[in-house]
Amino acid sequence: MAHEISSVNVNGRSVTEAAFALKPAWHGLGTVLDHAPTSEEAIAAAHLDWSVTRSPLKTLAGETVPDFYATVRMDTGAVLGVVGSRYQVVQNRESFAFLDGLLQDGVMKYESAGALRGGRIVWLLARLPSVDTIAEGDSTLRYVLFSTSHDGSASIHAIPTSVRVVCANTLRIATSGDIGFRHTSGVADKLEFAKKYLSQFDEKFTLFRDKARTLATCRYSPDQAKQYIEALFPTVKEEGRSKSIRENKVAAVRANFRNSRQTIPSIKGSWWALYNAVSESVDHDGPTRGKRKPIDLEHREQAMLSKVDGNGADFKAKAFSVALEMAG
C-alpha cells in the first residue's frame, strides 16, 4: 500500500508503528490518542522505542567488506539498509529529543509519529503551543516536522509544515523542495543549526496569519461575492455534465458559507469566511451525498493527495490569492 506504514513482529506480537493525536489518518492504521501526546507518550504509542546499530558488512565467504555497514534494528534483528563508513545513525529517541529541545519548557506536543517500510524511515510531527488567532473563535495551529532514515535512502529533514504527515505520501509532500542534510560527520552540528533555523520559522506562519486576518476584517458586497464565485467557477452555458458539476460545486460553497463555522460573529460576512467556504468544499465535501457507500483505501488516498498536493491544493491556493486581491 502507498501508505507504507510499518507493521512488524516484535517478540511474537504484531504492532503497527504509527500514532496520531485526536483523529485517525486516512488509512485507518495506528494508534489514535484522545489528546496531543508528549514525546514519551508518542514513542510508546507509535512503538518507536527501538534503536539501530551499524554492523560490519560481510560477503558470503565471511570476508568483511571495507567501509560498508548494514544498519540493523536491535529489537527485530532486521537489516534496514547498507551505508558507508561516514554514515551516522540518528536514533529515534534523539529525533524526539531534537524537537523537544526547540522549547526549553517542554510543552511541545506531538500530532503524529511513525515508521515506514519496516523502520527504514521515521517521522515525527510536533505541534507548537503557538495559536494563531485569525478572529475571535477562529484559530490555527503551527507544526514542525522531523524525519530521518535508517537505511541511508533519505536525508534528515527538520522543517515547518502545514501538512499533517500520516504516511509515506504525505511525508513526501511535506519534504518536497527541502534538501535536508545527510547522515554524515558533523550531524550533531547540523542538527543544532537546524534547531536555530526552526526557532525562527515563525515568519512563514505569521505571514499567512496576517493575510488571513486581513481577509477576516474585510467585508464583501453581494456583487463582489458573485465575481469571486465566477472567478473560481466560471459559468458554463451549455447544458450537460460540466454545467451540473459547476452548479454542484457552487451549491456546496453556498451551503458551507451558511454553516456554523462561517457564521460566527467575528468573521460572518468577511472574505475569510467566503474563502473558508470554498476551502471546505475541497477538503470535506464528498462527490456524492445521501446514502454513504464504502470507500476503499485507494480512493481515500487519492482524495488525500488532491487536498494537499494536487488539484485541490492548487485550487485552494488560487482561492486564497483571488480573495486577497479582491479584498484589496
Q: Tell me, yes or no, whether 322 and 227 share the same domain.
A: yes
R_g over Cα of the chain: 23
In a domain, 208, yes or no: no
- Exposed/middle/buried for residue 223 (C-beta within 10 Å: 0-12, 13-18, 19+): exposed
In a domain, 190, yes or no: yes
Beta bridge partner(s), residue 160? 144
Q: Tell me, yes or no, whether 165 and 247 share the same domain.
A: no
Residue with cell 537505511: 151
Q: How many CB atoms lie within 10 A of CB 178?
A: 14
Q: Tell me, yes or no, whether 54 and 182 share the same domain.
A: yes
In a domain, 211, yes or no: no
The torsion angles phi and psi of 228, rounded to 5 degrees, stand at: -65, -50
At 295, the pLDDT band (50, 70, 90 cuts) reads very low
In a domain, 212, yes or no: no
Tell me, what amino acid is at 53? T
Beta bridge partner(s), residue 70? 55, 82
Dist CA 212 CA 189 (whole Å): 36
The string of pLDDT tens digits covering residues 65-85 is: 898 999 999 999 999 999 998
The string of pLDDT tens digits covering residues 85-129 is: 888 888 999 888 888 877 655 566 889 999 999 999 999 998 877
Domain hosting 295: range is: 218-327
Q: What is the pLDDT of residue 133?
A: 86
Q: Tell me, yes or no, whether 107 and 153 share the same domain.
A: yes
In a domain, 210, yes or no: no
Q: Tell me, yes or no, whether 180 and 300 share the same domain.
A: no
Q: Tell me, yes or no, whether 195 and 231 share the same domain.
A: no
Q: Tell me, yes or no, whether 18 and 131 share the same domain.
A: yes
Average pLDDT over every residue of 207-213: 88
Q: Tell me, yes or no, whether 314 and 222 share the same domain.
A: yes
In a domain, 319, yes or no: yes
Among 201, 232, 255, residue at a domain's last position: 201
Domain count for the chain, please give it: 2
Q: Tell me, yes or no, whether 114 and 249 share the same domain.
A: no
Q: Tell me, yes or no, whether 302 and 247 share the same domain.
A: yes
Edge-to-edge strand order for the sheet containing 157-161? Answer: 31-33, 18-21, 109-116, 121-135, 138-149, 157-161
In a domain, 209, yes or no: no
High-pLDDT (> 90) share of the chain, %: 32
In a domain, 278, yes or no: yes
High-pLDDT (> 70) share of the chain, %: 78
How many CA atoms lie less than 13 Å away from 41 in the CB half-sphere?
A: 16
Q: Tell me, yes or no, whether 234 and 270 share the same domain.
A: yes
Judge contact between 124 and 147, C-beta under 8 A: yes
Among 201, 230, 263, residue at a domain's last position: 201
Q: Tell me, yes or no, whether 171 and 235 share the same domain.
A: no
Dist CA 184 CA 46 (whole Å): 27
At 29, the pLDDT band (50, 70, 90 cuts) reads very high
